[in-house]
Chains A and B, each alone.
Chain A
Amino acid sequence: MSENHPDGFLKHPREAIAYRDPAARIGDYKEVYQETWEEKRLAAQGARCMDCGVPTCMGGCPIGNIIPEWNDLVSRNQWLEALERLHATNNFPEFTGYTCPAPCEPACTLAYNDSPVAIKSIERAIVDRGWDEGWIVPEPPARRTGRKVAVVGSGPAGLAAAQQLNRAGHEVTVFERDDEIGGLMTYGIPDFKFAKFRVARRVDQLSREGVAFRTNVEVGRTMPLQTLRDEFDAVCLAIGAQQPRDVPMPGRDMGGIVFAMDYLVKENRRQAGKEISDPVSAKGRNVVVLGGGDTGADCVATAHRQGAKQVVQISINTKAPPERNSGNPWPEWPLISGRPTPRKRAARRNSASIPSPFSTPTAMAM
């Protein structure tokens, strides 16, 4: 047979890298994922991928990872080649391998009627292995073009742009409003979902490749955009949305209502031992989280870790069906209940009839 393991999915059941026991992990801020994985098992998971003619996973992947190819390389134990293939479309596979909601998996052809290939686990394993083996090293350009580029924002997009531009030979400076590089990766995503050393070592890699970083520079405030335009040949804005979506309704001006990003950033700063103005803690409080997405889930989990008395999460959607409904076909992102996973302990309430007015000022809504 001239194919790459077309029958792997018949031989091996899906087995993603597990999470730590919820009971254990609720007490700490360490990453929720199981720390180690077995090479052999991951290779078997790679062999579950049948290397489809139309790899819908790749269609589902926002950055177009060439998923079947590194699945195959992992199945063949060619980890270095797998890492190269992964890096070709993804500068920081650990960012996605740990935190991405992995729309590739529900788009996998096996997800059509079975369990998808454990793509996210394989991605994480490849990049973990890369760091462990010391394969991920600075790769500065051989020649400089003499052109200068400013990248505003040091989130994953800014960093990826910086790395690509720098490797193409341009002189790149990254400007960051905050005091740390990394944007959401550093201050937005809780430590238990993404440990911060992972950002730091990438920043280190980039620095060694020649990227310059300037923190605490808020372009447009502390530095006019025109200055960048004058000093650089090109400016790349990679600043994210920044604006939270407010819910204007009666009672909105009451106390104890905060935006998720304020809440999460403060907690992240606290974990990092940084100073925080107006600390917010859920300890001993009744918490309502508005929003059923990943960010909401992070808030729920953070509130639990802070010791909330009770956490209620409210979603705008009706309770999602357990399986795709007909208006939500494969390989689209499935609107179903039961994913994503790190909020197992959260109580939920789904209602189609919000917004209802804020009425209990004693509750702290997040």
Chain B
Amino acid sequence: MNQQETLPGLYDPSVVRAACGVGVLVDLNGTKSHQLIEDGFRVLVNIDHRGARGSEEKTGDGTGMLLQKPHEFFAARVKGLGDFDSYGVGQLFMPRDYGLRLALEDLIKKAAHSEGFRVVALRDVPTNNADLGRSALQTEPVIKQVFVEPLASLEPARLDTKLYVLRRVIENRAKALLAGSAELFYVCSLDRRKIVFKGLLSCPQLEGYFPDLSNPLVKTSLVLLHSRFSTNTLGAWHLAHPYRNTVHNGEINTLRGNLNRMKTREAVIASELFGDDIEKIKPVTSEGMSDTAVFDNVLELLLEAGRELPHALRMLIPEAWHKDKFMEPRRREFYDYFSTIIEPWDGPALVAVTDGYRVAAVLDRNGLRPCRYCVTKANKLVMASETGVLAIPPEEVVMRGRLKPGEIFLADTLERRIVPEREIFETLTKDHYGQWLKENRVRLREMEDGDEPPALDIESRDLARYQGVFGYTTELLRDLVEPMSEQGKDPIGAMGNDAPLAVLSARNKPLFNYFQQLFAQVSNPPLDYMREELVTSLESHVGRQHNLLDETAEHCRQVFIDSPILTASAIAAIRRLDKNGIRSAQVDITYPAGMPLADAIEEMRGRAAEAILGGAEILILSDRGASEERIPVPSLLAVGALHHYLIRRGLRTRAGLVLESGQPCGVHHFCTLIGYGADAVYPWLAYESIVRMMKERLQVPETKKALARYRKAVEGGILKVMSKMGISTLESYKGAQVFEAIGLNFDFVREYFQGTTAHIPSVGLDQIERELIETHERAFSDKIAGSLPLEQGGEFSWRRDGEIHQWNPFTVGKLQHAVRTGDGNSYRDFAEYINDQQERLQTLRGLVDFDIDPAGSIPLEEVEPCEAIFKRFSTGSMSFGSLSREAHETLAIAMNRLGGKSGTGEGGEQVERFGTERECSMKQVASGRFGVTMNYLVHAKQIEIKMAQGSKPGEGGELPGAKVDETIAEVRFTIPGVGLISPPPHHDIYSIEDLAQLIHDLKCANPAAEIHVKLVSVANVGTIAAGVAKARADAVLIAGDSGGTGASVKTSIKSAGSAWELGLAETQQVLLANNLRSRIRVRADGGLKTGRDVVVAALLGAEEYGFGTAALVAVGCIMLRKCHCNTCSVGVATQDPRLRAKFPGKVEHVINYMRFVAEEVRELMAALGYRTVEEMVGRVDRLRAREVRHPKGTRLDLSQLLYRQPSEDTPRKTKEQNHKLQSKIDHKLIEFARPAIERGEAVRVSMPLRNRDRTAGTMLSSAVTRKHGAAGLPDDAIVINFTGSAGQSFGAFLCRGITLHLEGEANDYVGKGLSGGRITVRKPAAAGYEAAANILIGNVALYGATGGEAYFNGIGGERFAVRNSGAIAVVEGIGDHGCEYMTGGAVVILGKTGKNFGAGMSGGEAFIYDQDGSFRPRLNTEMARAEEFAGERDTALVKRMIENHYSYTGSARAKQILDTWTESAKKFVKVIPEAYAKAVARYMSEGKDVRLNPPPKAEELRAA
């Protein structure tokens, strides 16, 4: 059963998102000491800010420590223990119920006995819970240790295996014993070598809670530490890390697919080490556990089965090897070979694991989590998510490093050293991997005969019949298939989705449409598949998989395909395949009309299993046999039904599934098919349709190209959808089921799509069958001459006889008439169309009604006035850039007059609007950070962090060069005519604790502003919202999937995210369940149109309401859906001056609209008996399901949507968040700087700094900017000299006039949003290592900087100066993806860069000191080019920058370069984006030099 079926509401407590801080301490000499434990406590305190608190400050989200078994201590405590290697110790969470506990103790003894052990002792672990918070106390288990020794003595390795088996036996039996009980039994660890102490504690609590750990006899030479930030924590003691081997920071995006595959692999695992015991350990892992727990389970299996630690890690988390041109062949072969055995567990991750002697750590392929380490003279390793977590005098440090994307790290206490990665691979790579691949693997490409377009074997009349059978519409062909074959891209649309959900539609919708794509949001980042293409891959293996625990030549006997979208010749090759024993078999997925569909599916399943048992290793599921007599099973149903059936039978790994179907044609179709188990798809009818089209257009010779373009569009589309979820490779996207189902009933989902989150249960197999038969009959009935052969569709564009749209000629016309004339009747006509859905279902809110008792109604006059309601209204955040200036300002003025809010959107705002009526009170911070300066932030009343956008969640954006005019370029700090890219992720938010950091940064930048976080509704968004509340945001916005101006691919407009009703209800339920609701305000938007919409949102739990599209319609939008074309003929969404002149909107129109809505709200409030909106918020009990007549007779179950979550919390915000600003050092800085701020006197201050001092300098910068505006203070007015380790976001949004010098090191996000200030970081003079060879600052430095200077005397991490638009910076080396999407400024790099330099870079310049000529292959040449460094201006700029660098940091590298300038200058390579170069040249020809001037000379500044 799926978990959610048993839930009364939408909140699924088993869904947890967590991220965290990780720490590792190793005495590389292998010396065990108690000191390491004490150090561990200190590290925990210093990474506490990466963890979180629940509703109580005293209850942490979990922390823990893994250490080596403290044998000395145990020997002193437990009688009769043998030597270290003779026993295992288990750390147990036991039920509080005494009887149960006794039963479990008995169970453990018996299990031990049956597995050949005896229990030496059961020890009560002393704990002190005096400091615990209430919720931790409520669920606190009894903690015990069990000591077991084998009846007959065993070799250590053998004992380890037996202990693993024993643990699984205990766990399995305990599960049976506790079935149905809420009591917790959990084995933290049961091990010979190590033990885990953990709990639902905050970091500082661990030490006090476990007095054992403070005993000097407790010694270890390694510890793993963890500080957890989780979205929901109730009763989550066991979810604390470390797991038995693992600590993890990040999230596994592909978990569902990994789990399913593990389930099916289990059937064939075998190992000599286990023998018959293998059955006892099953299931290896199971549902309902955290991603880390599952990962740990599988890792443990690999380790216990004999894999070396690094080997097991590299199997599960490989680096990005497919496209790495620098990788040595043997390493590639290793990855290539093991990719035939197991798919990557993909997602942002820092994983550190230990086997008790060695610690291995690995970073995900994208480098999305930070990991810094240093080694001391005493040979001690300190590794953590941050640097500076343990105070070590600089002279003690011998090296500083970081984990690079995909890098593996190994510290070995037996070998007493850090083993270099190269050496690790020497032991992992084997000659025979390459050999095996060569001999056994079949490359499909090599088996193909040419690549001809498929023959047109269907008569033109019949083609339409087939198109009809497979659900094609005219629109699908016209708006998707044809443009794809013309442009090679998934086509773009605009203005969101206003058509009903599949389940509400009167039309027959393909099964695909009931599935919505999930996407990464907050707890994991989407990927940038375009700019960071090197981490992605669509290649995969199809065929039989073998024993996970073994490796043989046989294992790679699979078919390699380079794309999941097959060509005609590829499917032909698969069909006739007979090589190396690989054969395919065809399974017909059509069935005779008249047969029940359920039977047809069962029969198909039977035939498939038979074929597999008969030796087929690839099944071709084909519906080519569809005809008047034979009905094709819907392709997604066929795939899901078979995939899950084969998993259940343990057969899934024995064959690949290739689908040959006429149904799929749009990107979303392919994504669902692959996501539910298809290995590859041959879309025969899509191809036929293109062939026909080319024939009709008399372009037959171009057919092959059209087909190739279509395939390219599909492939690009799949990559985009994968990336949205943060999944890099097709191998791990396959079967990952990253969808939610809306409107399918639970039985149906459980049988065919098990594990998928399902909402609003309704449609099942019977209705699908009815529609299938109807569609089939219609398609094969006689066509009436003259009629269109296919249905029109009308999904994307309104059609009179097509799908319903809320925006149609009637509603657009009525609303505009109403707001222009103030005609209330016209508004009522409009509202009635939207509100009255009893016979024309459009939205989920149309399915609910108010519970009105006339006796409780009140007179309208008693209801609070419109003015009070306007405060809760806002216009959605639509950027100046996508909207015209006229439209943008009209909305702003109107909302300011009403006392509501308007949002800037992500494009910044003209400075001259600040402080005027035209200013947007809500300023957005989006991934592009366009125009986000300190001055912008201090002018905000609300700052909105856009995590996702309704029309295209998980995606970035692009403002085409044509839309970037002078004004927009000025606001965005770029050059007119150069296109601008917003990255898919915020590069400073890859996980939830990063979001907490950004919230903190913005709060520091403007302590008076509320911080809002905008999320898009999707399954489990409530869980994310809980995380947002714990990250101390003031408000969270749940945006529906329907809204959205601007451009996005049609696939996203239609197929990603869900309606706000679902997301809002879930958010309310989760926040209440976790007692977090009172801490955060909730806003809803996404297609709100009427007062009724507002009241439904209020009752479901929203306090504020946003209007996007409706507000635009009020000012003149007529839903042309051409925003992306810059041709909006009414001047709303265009920058074309000719069209902007036609903008018809007036401030009054918006005001009239809002008043109409507010009046309608008031009327409903009077009827409901509410005097204020406040009283109404969260009163879901006043909603009930409405009697509707669904055109198909479908019934919908709304009980989960309307569930009343019991809670002790208030249903609305009643408390302020504690932003923890009181203790910031900035208060001192501001005090010191007062003479400068108030009187312009120069101020010089010195101060120590530690990693817990996050966002240092930002509040000071805010204070300066508040007083002095964008101009700031004179250069160097305030100079602060810090020493130590800077916490994250050092100098974020630092304004002009402030200089921060740091001697020491810094963490991630140095100089984020730098706004004119100066930052220098220098290696401590005493440090015993070379600056240019060691890491100095963390990842994503200078992200979104708009101006200022930065000098870094060492190496920076990944993504240096991403989206820099004006700052200049010098650094001595950087990681991957440097200067990505940069649009301005200048960067000088005096050392090596990582891969993919300058991706998406559209402006600015970079100068790389390319000492050994290795730079050029690392440049991404898509947009930028490398050129010789020459010319006076360049020389002057670069030389000045290096001189300053030397002056500020004393850099040895700078000195050496300056000393040999004539020679050195030749080694510089200049990188400049093509578009920028052109723009510069254009301006030069007009006599204007738009390039940066050299910065002021440091020496002179100092002298002054």
A residues with CB within 8 A of B: 1-3, 6-7, 9-10, 50-56, 58-61, 64, 66, 68-69, 76, 78, 81, 84-85, 87-88, 91, 107, 109-110, 112-114, 139-143, 163-164, 167-169, 326-327, 329-332
Contact = CB atoms under 8 A, between A and B. Distances in A.
Contact of B813 (A53, A91, A332): A332
B842 to A, nearest CB: 15
A78 B786 contact: no
Contact of A53 (B491, B782, B784, B1120): B1120
Q: Which of B808, B813, B821 is the most central at the interface, judged by chain A CB atoms within 10 Å of its CB?
A: B813
A325 to B, nearest CB: 10
Given A54-B798, A78-B696, A85-B788, 5 more contacts: A58-B799, A61-B800, A64-B800, A68-B797, A81-B696
Given A3-B1125, A10-B1127, A78-B697, A142 B782 contact: yes
15 contacts: A2-B483, A3-B492, A53-B494, A53-B1120, A53-B1121, A54-B808, A54-B1121, A56-B809, A64-B801, A68-B797, A69-B478, A88-B787, A109-B1120, A113-B1144, A141-B785
B817 interface: yes
A2 B489 contact: yes
Interface in B138-162: none
Interface in B466-510: 474, 478, 483, 487, 489, 491-495
A278 B809 CA distance: 48
A1 B807 CA distance: 24
Contacts of B1129: 9, 50, 109-110, 112-114
Interface residues of B, number: 51
Given A52-B1121, A113-B1142, A329-B817, A59 B809 contact: yes
Contacts of B1118: 52, 54, 56, 109, 112
B820 interface: yes
Q: Which of B492, B807, B817 is the most central at the interface, judged by chain A CB atoms within 10 Å of its CB?
A: B817
B1451 to A, nearest CB: 49
Contacts of B817: 326, 329
Contacts of A113: 1129-1130, 1142, 1144
B702 to A, nearest CB: 15
Contact of A52 (B487, B784, B1119): B1119
B487 A2 contact: yes
Given A10-B1138, A53-B495, A143-B782, A327 B1127 contact: no
B822 to A, nearest CB: 10
Contact of A59 (B797, B808, B1121): B808
Q: Is the interface of A mostly helix, strand, loop or mixed?
A: loop
Contacts of B492: 1-3
A112 B1118 CA distance: 9
A167 B786 contact: yes
B812 interface: yes
Contact of B786 (A7, A91, A107, A332): A91
Nearest to B784: A167
Contacts of A91: 786
A141 B782 contact: yes
Nearest to B1121: A53
7 smallest CB-CB distances across A and B, nearest first, come from: A53-B1121, A59-B809, A139-B785, A2-B491, A6-B1125, A64-B800, A329-B817
Contacts of B1119: 52-54
A173 B805 CA distance: 40
A53 B785 CA distance: 29
Contacts of A56: 809, 812-813, 1118
A328 B1142 CA distance: 20
A59 B1127 contact: no
Nearest to A330: B813
Given A10-B1127, A81-B696, A54 B1122 contact: no
B933 interface: no
B812 A54 contact: yes
Contact of A7 (B808, B820, B1125): B1125
Given A50-B1127, A54-B812, A59-B810, A167 B785 contact: yes
B720 to A, nearest CB: 14
Contacts of A7: 1125, 1127
B785 A54 contact: no
Given A58-B800, A59-B809, A331-B813, A326 B1127 contact: no
A58 to B, nearest CB: 5
A60 B788 CA distance: 21
Contacts of A66: 792, 799
Interface of B: 474, 478, 483, 487, 489, 491-495, 696-697, 782, 784-788, 792, 796-801, 805, 807-810, 812-813, 816-817, 820-821, 1118-1122, 1124-1125, 1127, 1129-1130, 1136, 1138-1139, 1142, 1144
B783 to A, nearest CB: 9
B803 to A, nearest CB: 12
Contact of A326 (B820, B1120, B1124): B820
Q: Which of B491, B696, B800, B805 is the most central at the interface, judged by chain A CB atoms within 10 Å of its CB?
A: B800
Nearest to B489: A2
B797 A51 contact: yes
Contacts of A326: 817, 820-821
A57 to B, nearest CB: 9
A332 to B, nearest CB: 7
Contacts of B800: 58-59, 61, 64
B782 A169 contact: yes
Given A2-B487, A113-B1142, A327-B821, A52 B786 contact: no
A58 B800 CA distance: 7
Nearest to A52: B1120
Q: Which of A2, A140, A142 is the most central at the interface, judged by chain B CB atoms within 10 Å of its CB?
A: A2
Contacts of B483: 2
Contacts of A6: 1122, 1125, 1127
A112 B1144 CA distance: 10
B804 to A, nearest CB: 12
A50 B1122 contact: yes
Nearest to B796: A53
Contacts of A84: 786, 788
Contacts of B784: 141, 164, 167-168
Contacts of A60: 809
Contacts of B493: 53
B1127 A55 contact: no
Q: Which of B809, B816, B1119, B1127 is the most central at the interface, judged by chain A CB atoms within 10 Å of its CB?
A: B809
A52 B495 CA distance: 12
A275 B940 CA distance: 84
Contacts of A163: 786
Given A58-B799, A326-B821, A112 B1130 contact: yes
Contacts of B809: 54, 56, 58-60, 107, 331
A197 B770 CA distance: 48
Nearest to A81: B696
Given A6-B1125, A68-B797, A329-B816, A88 B786 contact: yes
Contacts of B494: 53
A66 B475 CA distance: 11
A64 B799 CA distance: 8
Contacts of A329: 813, 816-817, 820
Nearest to A10: B1127
A92 B799 CA distance: 21
A66 B800 CA distance: 8
B793 to A, nearest CB: 11
Nearest to B1141: A113
Nearest to A164: B784
A139 to B, nearest CB: 4
Given A2-B491, A88-B788, A139-B785, A54 B797 contact: yes
Nearest to B792: A66
Contacts of A141: 782, 784-785
A51 B1118 CA distance: 13
Contacts of B810: 59
A55 B797 contact: yes
